[in-house]
Amino acid sequence: MELREPANFAAPAAKAYWRWSAAAWWGGLAIAQVVTMVIWQDIAWWRWVLAALTVVILIIDAVISPPIRYRVHRWEVTPTAVYTQSGWLSIERRVAPISRVQTVDTTRGAIMRMLGLSTVTVTTASAAGEMTIELLDSRVAADLVEHLTAVAESSEDDAT
Q: Average model confidence (pLDDT) for the chain? A: 90
Angle between helices 65-72 and 14-22 (to 10 degrees): 140
The domains of the chain are located at: 9-70, 73-154
The pLDDT assigned to 88 comes to 80
41's enclosing H/E stretch is none
pLDDT tens digits, residue range 101-151?
888 999 999 999 999 999 999 998 877 789 999 999 999 999 999 999 888
- Distance CA(71)–CA(74), nearest Å, equals 8
Q: Residue 80 class from Cβ within 10 Å (0-12 exposed, 13-18 middle, 19+ buried)?
A: exposed
Helix count and strand count (H, E) for the chain: 6, 7
CB 132 within 8 A of CB 73: no
Residues 6+ apart with CB under 8 A from 73: 9, 10, 14, 85, 86, 87, 134, 135
* CATH of 73-154 given 3.40.50.1820, 2.30.29.210, 3.40.630.30, 3.40.50.2020: 2.30.29.210
Angle between helices 28-39 and 45-59 (to 10 degrees): 160
The pTM score is 0.84
- State the greatest distance between any 2 C-alpha atoms of the chain, in Å, as a whole number: 68
Q: Residue 117 class from Cβ within 10 Å (0-12 exposed, 13-18 middle, 19+ buried)?
A: buried
